[in-house]
């Protein structure tokens, strides 16, 4: 059995959501921009809003998308999707009594 590299013809398959909905990126930026954090000199940016909340707000604006799609769109816009990690220092931290 031979393996072919291309399964679909060029242009086949599902169209990108941003191609079907031209205002999607603008609306997402308007929601995220006021709460954007990060060093202006650094390419790393993040937001304090969660992706499920952003998805609900975009759905209220008339867009059809999921939380996972919001993650992908934020990544395309250059946002980091890492969350803050809290450390458990309590009484078990090795430097506590030094």
pTM of the model: 0.64
**Enclosing H/E stretch for 93:** none
What tens digit of pLDDT does each residue of 29-81 get?
888 876 566 555 666 677 778 889 999 999 999 999 999 999 999 888 888 77
CA gap 19, 28 in Å, rounded? 15
């Amino acid at each position: 059995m031979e393996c072919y590299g291309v399964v679909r013809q060029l242009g086949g398959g599902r169209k990108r959501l941003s191609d079907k909905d031209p205002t999607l990126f603008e609306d997402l930026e308007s929601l995220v921009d006021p709460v954007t954090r990060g060093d202006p000199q650094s390419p790393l940016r993040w937001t304090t809003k969660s992706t499920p909340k952003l998805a609900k707000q975009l759905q209220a604006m008339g867009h059809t998308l999921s939380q996972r799609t919001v993650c992908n769109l934020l990544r395309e816009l250059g946002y980091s999707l890492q969350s803050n990690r809290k450390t458990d220092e309590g009484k078990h931290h090795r430097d506590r009594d030094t």
